[in-house]
């Protein structure tokens, strides 16, 4: 959410930013919030004047009472009552207008970084850099569900009976490899100096609206019936929510946290849920990184964070590339974002395994997260990045390590988490 003062003083910049995001239907909001802001400030001014008059009259009443001028004092008291009634009306109107202003402000997108390429949707995202040599073996790579099923590692039929489409059972060594990747991702980030955390897996609505846009919430979040709770779509939600309403001593910045959680997503949209495989599902697990820092340090942290994910997948011998998200592909709260994509030797193309974003002070403003500095309090910058989201990450490892006979080589970095095992063999 932008600062209303910024919108007031930079109306054309805000409108141009909306155009860059191809959200022209939101252009009227800018003039609407400026008009609401003028009304609110006028009411504040009127209220301040009335309170000033009330204080003056209250002083006069005391003087009149001391002089035994009871009738005149009673007339002044009636004036105070009228002022109080007027103030109640003003305050109610002000609260109503503030609520309307907040709703409209929360729909206006954040100002994107000048480096963000302009484009309508993800088809116009821009490749930045490749890491590792993409390899296509001489034998045909099976579909990932077939690789796993051949290793007795996947049961979607039973999951369909217990939970429906979009769920799965992972079994045996495949389930173990899945857990090994998450454990390795945890330790990988701890070794980078991040503090490990396991957050709540449900959050209240005021936290949801603080960390994401309404459109994202509708497409992603599961609501707990009868309670003010939502299942998290990523641990970033509860990790940022951890600092809601807090004043953080500046000396504690930057806060660097890495968190594990299951994630739950409705996955509403044209892409839908994958019928056979486990690439797009309702439930998955994730190791995330979250940073809270000074605004001037945000871009440095952004570049460090996406590189951590690249290093993680390269340590598993998975070729990856980075893709700059264009303006139309950015969620409304994001300033800048890039996707990390893994090489699929089966599809002979890359697919998304992670996303890194800097959101400026948008989440901090919505949630009231500030730092206490020597020169005053200020909003912090928030950033998040995927270390590993799996089973999507598992697919990348399987496709890049499967052998012609269907067995899968275990990357060296994961072997300590697999009891020293080097290969997952087909159970004959």
Residues 6 or more apart whose CB falls under 8 angstroms from that of 326 comprise 116, 117, 118, 119, 120, 121, 122, 124, 125, 126
Contact 326, 351 (CB under 8 A): no
Structure tokens at 64: 């009149």
pLDDT given at position 224: 94
pLDDT given at position 269: 56
Q: What mean pLDDT do residues 355-373 have?
A: 97
Q: What is the DSSP string of 203-230?
A: E-HHHHHHHS-HHHHHHHPEEPTTSS-E
Read off the pLDDT of residues 288-328 as tens digits, 9 standing for 90 and up: 999 999 999 999 999 999 999 999 999 999 999 999 999 99
Cα(403)–Cα(141) distance, rounded to whole angstroms? 9
pLDDT-derived band at 381 (thresholds 50, 70, 90) equals very high
Residue 200: which of 290, 262, 255, 243 has the closest Cα? 262
Cβ count within 10 A of residue 275: 10
The fraction of the chain above a pLDDT of 90, given in percent, is: 87
- Helix H or strand E segment including 188: helix 172-190
Q: What mean pLDDT do residues 398-420 have?
A: 97
Q: Which of 88-92, 214-218, 418-422 has the lowest mean pLDDT?
A: 214-218
3-state secondary structure of 23: coil
Residue 68 has pLDDT above 90, yes or no: no
Q: Which of 41-55, 56-70, 223-237, 343-357 has the lowest mean pLDDT?
A: 56-70
Contact 295, 289 (CB under 8 A): no
Q: What mean pLDDT do residues 140-149 have?
A: 95
Residues 6 or more apart whose CB falls under 8 angstroms from that of 416 comprise none
Residue 428 has pLDDT above 70, yes or no: no
pLDDT given at position 271: 60
pLDDT given at position 272: 61
pLDDT given at position 19: 98
Read off the pLDDT of residues 77-127 as tens digits, 9 standing for 90 and up: 998 999 999 999 999 999 999 999 999 999 999 999 999 999 999 999 999
Q: What mean pLDDT do residues 222-249 have?
A: 95
Read off the pLDDT of residues 267-295 as tens digits, 9 standing for 90 and up: 765 566 667 899 999 999 999 999 999 99
Average pLDDT across the chain, whole number: 94
Q: What mean pLDDT do residues 134-143 have?
A: 94
Cα(22)–Cα(211) distance, rounded to whole angstroms? 22
Contact 345, 135 (CB under 8 A): yes
Say how far residue 410 (Cα) sits from the centre of its chain: 32
Residue 6 has pLDDT above 70, yes or no: yes
pLDDT given at position 1: 85
pLDDT-derived band at 208 (thresholds 50, 70, 90) equals very high
Could you tell me the domains of the chain?
4-105 (1.10.287.40), 122-424 (3.30.930.10)
The fraction of the chain above a pLDDT of 70, given in percent, is: 98
Contact 3, 10 (CB under 8 A): no
Cα(211)–Cα(202) distance, rounded to whole angstroms? 14
Does the pTM of the predicted model rise above 0.85?
Answer: yes
Q: Are strands 154-155 and 169-170 parallel, antiparallel or unpaired?
A: antiparallel
Q: What is the DSSP string of 96-150?
A: HHHHHHHHHHTTSPPPPPTTSPP-SSGGG-EEEEEES-----SSPPPPHHHHHHH
């Amino acid at each position: 959410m932008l600062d209303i003062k910024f919108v007031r003083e930079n109306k054309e910049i805000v409108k141009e930013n909306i155009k860059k995001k191809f959200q022209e239907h939101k252009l009227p909001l800018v003039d609407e919030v400026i008009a609401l802001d003028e009304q609110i400030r006028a009411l504040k001014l009127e209220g301040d004047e009335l309170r000033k008059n009330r204080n003056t009259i209250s002083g006069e009443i005391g003087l009149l009472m001391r002089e035994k001028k009871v009738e005149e004092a009673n007339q002044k008291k009636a004036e105070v009552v009228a002022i109080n009634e007027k103030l109640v009306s003003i305050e109610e109107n002000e609260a109503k207008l503030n609520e309307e202003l907040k709703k409209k402000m929360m729909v206006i997108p954040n100002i994107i970084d000048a480096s963000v390429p302009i484009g309508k949707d993800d088809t116009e995202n821009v490749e930045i850099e490749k890491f590792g040599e993409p390899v296509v073996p001489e034998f045909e790579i099976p579909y990932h569900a077939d690789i796993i099923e051949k290793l007795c590692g996947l049961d979607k039929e039973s999951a369909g009976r217990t939970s429906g489409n979009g769920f799965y059972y992972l079994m045996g060594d495949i389930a173990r490899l899945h857990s090994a990747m998450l454990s390795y991702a945890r330790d990988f980030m701890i070794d980078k100096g991040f503090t490990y955390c396991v957050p709540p897996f449900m959050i209240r609505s005021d936290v949801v609206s603080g960390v994401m846009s309404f459109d994202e919430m509708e497409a992603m979040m599961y609501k707990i019936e009868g309670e003010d709770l939502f299942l998290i779509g990523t641990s970033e939600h509860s990790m940022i929510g951890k600092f809601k309403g807090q004043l953080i001593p500046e000396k504690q910045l930057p806060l660097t946290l890495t968190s594990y959680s299951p994630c739950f997503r409705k996955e509403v949209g044209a892409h839908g849920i994958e019928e056979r495989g486990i690439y797009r599902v309702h439930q998955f697990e994730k190791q995330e990184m979250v940073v809270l820092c000074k605004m001037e340090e945000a871009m440095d942290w952004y570049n460090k964070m996406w590189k951590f994910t690249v290093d993680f997948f390269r340590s598993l011998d998975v070729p990856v590339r980075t893709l700059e998200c264009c303006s139309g592909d950015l969620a409304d709260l994001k300033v800048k974002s890039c996707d990390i994509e893994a090489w699929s030797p089966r599809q002979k193309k890359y697919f998304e395994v992670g996303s890194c974003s800097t959101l400026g002070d948008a989440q901090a403003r919505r949630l009231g997260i500030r730092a206490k500095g020597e020169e005053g309090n200020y909003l912090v910058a928030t950033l998040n990045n995927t270390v590993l989201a799996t089973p999507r990450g598992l697919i990348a490892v399987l496709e890049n390590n499967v052998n012609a006979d269907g067995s899968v080589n275990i990357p060296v970095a994961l072997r300590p988490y697999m009891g020293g095992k080097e290969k997952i063999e087909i159970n004959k």
